[in-house]
Homo-oligomer: A and B are copies of this chain.
Amino acid sequence: MKRKKLVIIGGGFGGLNACKALKNSELEITLLDRSNYHLFQPLLYQVATAVLSPGDIAAPIRGILSKQKNVRVLMSPATSVDQKNRKVLTADGDFEYDYLIIAVGSRHSYFGNDGWEQYAPGLKTISDALSIRERILSSFEKAEKLNDPKEIEKFMTFVIVGGGPTGVEMAGAIAEISKKTLLKDFRNINPALTKIILVEGSPKLLNMYDEPLNKKAKESLESLGVTVRLGESVTKINSLGLQIGGEFIETPNLIWAAGNKASTLIESLDVQKDRIGRAIVERDCSIKSDSNVFVIGDSAMFSENGKPLAGIAPVAVQQGKYVAGIIENDTPKDKRKSFVYFDKGSMATIGRARAVMQMRNIKLSGSLAWFLWGIVHIMFLISFRNKYKVMSEWIWYYLTQRQGIRLITHKTDWS
């Protein structure tokens, strides 16, 4: 019997977990990814704020799958899917499939203002994180050299757009680096001039959480010196700064954490899409036009009780494993049980020793939530190697309160 071919596009949480769940199957698996590494995205903000190195939260995909002999890993971005001929097209040739899993994640959305991206980068990739790190650190260096207080203030102003988990975590982390590191390492900068502003269009932070956690998050940020502006929208972003309502704030330090859209690969699929370009999938995560093609994770819109599942790692992980089960057993469409998301809770950290978490009806905030956050994230890190490294970095950071990776690496050397 000919072995069936499975192509997985994307080595993130969804794709990688589907692949690993199939380690004993008879399938011929090809995993395609644009990068050569799997990224532990929930900790990416710590690379952007100089606590962790990229190597601490990323691991080569082929290293993770080194012992799984039924999979071939290729660093080839898929350009489109030819559903009729059951092929994935890439610059390195076509890949035929019997089954296809699409798990390509999402990108930032600037709500039609794509020109804003160059001034307000988002945080999805290692390269995004390094460029935000460079921007933040360079601003401190610049401010140290200036004498005009108005100019200094500009470089010491940081605006984060979007009050979801990424925005809240970035605001907290920037507050910590600027308040603590500045005091010790800089001679000229007056920390009182630092302004950190978090802008959110809706009336509360962390929309996916229930009260009182939204309030707790706001209070925690305010106690770190962050100005939280709710119910306000950004109407303009350019090289000088951004417009919020009637006010124009001058700063080169803008970070975008406000919206996502599905990756462009989804466009080539014969499937209905939602407002942000995600594939609207069936109860079994397949698409209506082909029950052997699955879309999972951030690129999929899966409704549960009339509400779409959030674009978070646990959803992608569970969908990956679920879809792997269907494929391994060759279950026909009409015999497949619906995917059910098991909510293990959500958590967001706000600086050192502060976090909020919610697991169904249990709500926690403060240092216990922060401690649990640390445990859960260490457990989730995919390879033992990274657990060990991140833990040692955190112990270091906790004890010394000094971000270790404060490198501006894009500059050239003495020439």
Q: Chain B nearest CB: distance from A377 CB in Å?
A: 19
In the docked arrangement, what's the CA distance between A42 and B158, Å?
37
Q: Chain B nearest CB: distance from A407 CB in Å?
A: 5
Residues 50-77 (chain A) with a chain B CB within 8 angstroms:
53-56, 58-60, 62-63, 66, 72, 74-77
Say yes or no: is A187 at the interface (Cβ < 8 Å to chain B). yes
Binary flags per residue of A19-46, CB closer than 8 Å to B gives 1, else 0: 0000000000000001111000000000
Q: Which residue of B lies closest to A75 (CB)?
A: B141
Say yes or no: is A283 at the interface (Cβ < 8 Å to chain B). no
- CB neighbours (8 Å) of A404 from chain B are 55, 59, 385, 389
- CB neighbours (8 Å) of A59 from chain B are 404
Kindly name the residue among A144, A184, A188, A414 whose own CB sees the greatest number of chain B CB atoms within 10 A: A414
Say yes or no: is A16 at the interface (Cβ < 8 Å to chain B). no
In the docked arrangement, what's the CA distance between A410 and B414, Å?
22
Say yes or no: is A346 at the interface (Cβ < 8 Å to chain B). no
Residue of B36, B141, B264, B406 touching A137 (CB-CB under 8 A): B36
Q: Are A408 and B75 in contact (CB under 8 A)?
A: yes
Say yes or no: is A165 at the interface (Cβ < 8 Å to chain B). no
Residues 383-415 (chain A) with a chain B CB within 8 angstroms:
385, 388-389, 392-393, 396, 400, 402, 404-415
- CB neighbours (8 Å) of A409 from chain B are 54, 126-127, 130
Q: Which residue of B lies closest to A392 (CB)?
A: B392
Say yes or no: is A186 at the interface (Cβ < 8 Å to chain B). yes
Say yes or no: is A314 at the interface (Cβ < 8 Å to chain B). no
Give me the 5 closest cross-chain CB pairs, A-B, nearest first. A55-B405, A125-B413, A53-B53, A53-B55, A75-B141
Q: List 18 A-B contacts (CB under 8 A).
A: A35-B413, A36-B408, A53-B53, A53-B55, A59-B404, A62-B186, A63-B402, A66-B184, A74-B144, A75-B145, A76-B145, A124-B413, A126-B409, A130-B409, A263-B414, A263-B415, A385-B400, A389-B392
> Residues of A with Cβ closer than 8 Å to B?
10, 34-37, 53-56, 58-60, 62-63, 66, 72, 74-77, 92-93, 104-105, 107, 124-128, 130, 137-138, 141, 144-145, 184-188, 263-265, 385, 388-389, 392-393, 396, 400, 402, 404-415
Assuming A55-B405, A63-B402, A389-B404, what are 13 further A-B pairs, CB within 8 angstroms? Answer: A36-B137, A37-B407, A60-B406, A60-B407, A66-B185, A75-B138, A75-B144, A76-B145, A92-B145, A107-B414, A125-B413, A385-B400, A389-B392
